[in-house]
Amino acid sequence: MPSLSLHSLQPFLPTPRAKLAIPLRNAVASASPTNPTIKTQKKKKKQDDDYHATLKALNSKGRFPRKSLGQHYMLNETINEELVAAAGVEEGDVVLEIGPGTGSLTNVLVNAGATVLAIEKDPYMAAIVEERFAGTNLVKVLQEDFTRCHIHAHMSSILQDRSNEETKFRHAKVVANIPFNISTDVVKQLLPMGDIFSEVVLLLQDETAQRLADPALRSSEYRPINIFVRFYSDPMYKLKVPRENFFPQPKVDAAVVAFRLKQAVDYPQVSSTKSFFSMVNCAFNEKRKMLRKSLQHFCPSTEIEAALSEVGFPATSRPEELALEDFVRLHNLIFEV
């Protein structure tokens, strides 16, 4: 059967003999300028490869990806392998996966020797993953909304059990192809968990990935989330993933970003993270205003001007001109750390 464009895809039918509109299989991932283009490779796997396993799983249940949940399933096995490699997943690692879908990435994680906690909001997809990995004790599926679940408690329990079996504590990792519409929520929830996770590797919308990994000062894209990301982690843009690698095909390309989480002792020294991020958010709430105006409810504008001068900025400075370390120094002067 000839391959059809993803734009012409029709919903999967539940009958086994129904003719499916099959998406293109040979889509590739564009690497960063320093890396070569990655092409699909044929390898023997312990289970069906991602392309066929994804189509088979969806067709067997008569399921079609739900737009309301931001479901776009990965069809390229090599991309999943790149995600796992970016996190440095090894035998015995504990990995959190958010939105496993049909379990294609889960399969690569299990084949790498990881124990996987998969959080899936869609009860139908959670059932598919549970059924697919029923023969192994390496996968635990929780049917929950990640943005509302107590992930710290779940992971702490798993790691505590693991530490009782091993002599040395090993941080967990996060590897996930998440819905684009919850990217910011996921990042905000995970990055402060350096006590639990060492690496967070996410497949994000390419524009979001670029903004988080390498924000340019004096840009309209420079926001409080950039300060937040740098405060808690060292982000790195790893790989661009063209939209053709997904089913259904989204309107934008994606990218892999790896966040290496900092430990608490490595966080910038501020008296209170609450007051620090409150100051940062206030600064950006009115980006067109000078900092001496937007921050004046913290202290008089004359004190803000003096603090800016000590940090090395003129009194007319605006928030997009300051990097993380500048905001830290400004905060510590205003709040007299």
Binding residues for S-adenosyl-L-methionine: 72, 74, 99, 120, 145, 177
DSSP state of 252: S
- The DSSP bridge pattern shows strands 94-98 and 254-261 to be unpaired
Q: Report the alpha-carbon distance of residue 279 to residue 75 in Å, rounded.
A: 43
Query: Please, is 248 exposed, middle or buried when counting C-beta atoms within 10 Å of its C-beta (0-12, 13-18, 19+)?
Result: middle
DSSP state of 82: H
Measured on CA atoms in the order 264, 268, 272, 273, is the torsion positive or negative? negative
- The torsion angles phi and psi of 141, rounded to 5 degrees, stand at -110, 130
Q: Report the alpha-carbon distance of residue 325 to residue 319 in Å, rounded.
A: 13
- The DSSP bridge pattern shows strands 139-142 and 115-119 to be parallel
Instruction: Say whether 207 sits in a helix, a strand or coil.
Output: helix
Which structure tokens are listed for 204?
């994000």
Instruction: Looking at the chain, list the stretches that DSSP marks H as alpha helix, in order from N- to C-terminal side.
Output: 50-61, 77-86, 104-111, 123-132, 151-165, 183-190, 206-213, 224-232, 273-285, 291-294, 301-311, 324-334
